[in-house]
Amino acid sequence: MKAKSPQALSTRCVHAGEARDAHGSPHTPVYTTTTFAFPSTRALLDVVEGLKPGSLYTRYGLNPTIQSLEAKLASLEGAEAALAFSSGMGAEAALFLAYGRNGIVCLGDAYGGTLELLADQLPQLGIRTTLLLGDELERLDELLADGYGLVFLETPTNPVLEIFDIQALAGKAHAHGARLAVDNTFASPVNQQPLALGADLVVHSATKYLGGHSDITAGALMGPAELVASVAGWRKNLGTAPAPETAAMLARSIRTLVVRVRQQNQNALAIAEAMERHPRIRRVLYPGLASHPGHAVAADQMSGFGGMLTIEIDADTSATSAVVDRLQLFAIAPSLGGVESLATQPVTTTHHGLSDPERERRGISGSMIRLSVGLEDAQDLIADLEQALDDPRG
């Protein structure tokens, strides 16, 4: 008998994990219940001891709405299991506490909150951390040989869109008995599948593309069931499971993930190409451009290049802020991945907390504008950027 082929991602986004109730709802209802009753002590113990699946207590994540979402999240990344969190930082914190106690190597740039957690806070708990830039990869073998147990990275990175070879780094980590965790927020599961490339665990700020409407804060972690189970206890006692209402809204948003991201891919590429031709633009950082230093690797491991790009203007920080201030369709705001387009100078938001020397070391200048491209018409967005750049006031 011919094996059934796996369903496409767009189909799984709609149907995976959904539990139909007695009234025929096509989607899992929102169970706002905090605790769940049992017909007997034996039935309760079966769930408490993990002998049978079931609902128990919402803070533990044992709530039907959350569990339904987690089945959908696992399906997105082709994972055995997933955990939903109240934020992406909640997912990262639980990941680092579960698997980073022997040492964490962070490769390349990352979200400012992640860098603060790694550089300042985890060392206070006695967890050693090392932050390596992309041009310092030759040091990775030495650190892994010294017993570091977790390699963590974003690809593409925030905000310079650096690309790392997931398969090569997974092989290097595994050769030393370490694990590789990838933050897949910028790419989304539509454009990149890190587990299929050899990563051990994947995390997301689900606030971004998975949520997609700038109306929820959530996080996710996906991977093999055994590895995910070790993170679950940290989530339970850190109290970082999402509310059922948030879980239901995230599941709603995931149903349209593929169509949203594919359109954002198209819009971002059109904008990147237009900005590359503009005389006031010093450079455009977008992995879909042949001029991007990581384009070849991105083309190999990604099926789309995402809705994020960074432009660097031939101007100082003040003049760059003036360009941002003249934008009309792009809202000036942090975050990303929503249906509306956003613009931000990383020096004012995501990486504002870094010192000037550290920003310079990471190649983050005041002339950079990070764009999160939404679902507006691409030509309207290009026109908005051009009018802001072409203003005679500078």
Active site positions, annotated: 59, 111, 183, 208
CA angle 377/209/326 to nearest 5° reads: 45
CA distance 330 to 323: 11
Cα–Cα separations (whole angstroms), residue 360 to 15, 109, 365: 46, 12, 7
Choose among 306, 115, 84: nearest CA to 217.
84
Beta-bridged to residue 311, according to DSSP, are: 284, 369
In this structure, the strands spanning 281-285 and 308-313 are: antiparallel
Burial of 307 (0-12, 13-18, 19+ CB in 10 A): buried
DSSP state of 16: T
Cis peptide, bond prior to residue 159, ω within 30 of zero: yes
The three-state DSSP-derived secondary structure of 101-135 is: CCCEEEECCCCHHHHHHHHHHHHHHCCCEEEECHH
Phi, then psi, of 145 in degrees rounded to 5: -65, -25
CA distance 244 to 246: 5
Do residues 146 and 103 make contact, with C-beta atoms less than 8 angstroms apart? yes
Q: Report CA torsion sign: 249, 250, 256, 260.
A: positive
**CB neighbours of residue 277 within 10 Å:** 8
**CB neighbours of residue 377 within 10 Å:** 11
The residues near 321 (Cβ < 8 Å, ≥ 6 apart) are: 345, 348
In this structure, the strands spanning 81-85 and 308-313 are: unpaired
Choose among 328, 335, 326, 42: nearest CA to 54.
42
Task: Specify the amino acid at residue 120.
Answer: D
CA distance 119 to 62: 33
